[in-house]
């Protein structure tokens, strides 16, 4: 089964969508298998991260922005603005796909783990995520 969801991203940062994936797995009736998430974008990424304390998410965002700053004079790919090339670098350093085992119809996430779209652009975007469930 493959299902595509569209997620709104209100700008840079981590946007949780664990509940949507949990619902899709639950509705599928799958007992055991693998849930693979794939995002066909080059300036955003997917992440499994702590979902309890929002300061962890803010620290990640601040750290990555410091590692890959906007406005670096080495960038030549700036067609869409100062955040264009940094967004591509951030996506290259992170991941555009995730695999999560499913057992007894539930994602095998840890207690404090959540699934996030990590938007690397400042402007609002809609991002597609393909969810593939296999047994």
* 65's tokens: 């922005």
Per-residue confidence band for 46, with pLDDT thresholds at 50, 70 and 90? very high
Cα–Cα dist 78/33, whole Å: 42
CA-closest candidate to residue 30, choices 38, 21, 42: 21
CB burial string 47-73: b at 16+ within 10 A, e below: ebebbeeeeebeebbeebeeebeeeee
The DSSP call for residue 84 is: H
Task: Output the pLDDT for position 9.
Answer: 93
Q: Which CATH superfamily is domain 2-134 in?
A: YjbQ-like (2.60.120.460)
User: pLDDT value at position 26?
Assistant: 97
pLDDT value, residue 103: 98
pLDDT tens figures, 49-95: 999 999 999 999 999 999 999 999 999 999 899 999 999 999 999 99
The pLDDT of 42-53, averaged and rounded, is 96
Determine the pLDDT at residue 127.
98
Kindly report the pTM of this predicted structure: 0.94
DSSP code per residue over 36-61: EEE---SSEEEEEEE-S-HHHHHHHH
Residue 38 binned pLDDT confidence (cut-offs 50, 70, 90)? very high
Question: Where do the domains of the chain lie?
Answer: 2-134
CA distance 13 to 120: 7
């Amino acid at each position: 089964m493959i299902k595509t969801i569209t997620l709104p991203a209100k700008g840079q940062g981590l946007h949780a969508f664990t509940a949507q994936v949990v619902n899709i797995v639950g509705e599928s009736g799958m007992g055991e298998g693998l849930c693979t998430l794939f995002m066909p974008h080059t300036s955003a990424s997917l992440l499994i991260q702590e979902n309890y304390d929002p300061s962890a998410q803010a620290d990640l965002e601040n750290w990555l922005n410091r590692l890959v700053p906007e406005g670096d004079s080495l960038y030549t790919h700036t067609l869409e603005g100062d955040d264009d090339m940094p967004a591509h670098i951030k996506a290259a350093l992170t991941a555009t796909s995730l695999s999560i085992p499913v057992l007894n119809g539930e994602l095998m996430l840890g207690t404090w783990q959540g699934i996030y779209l990590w938007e690397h652009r400042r402007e609002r975007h809609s991002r597609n995520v393909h969810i593939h469930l296999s047994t």
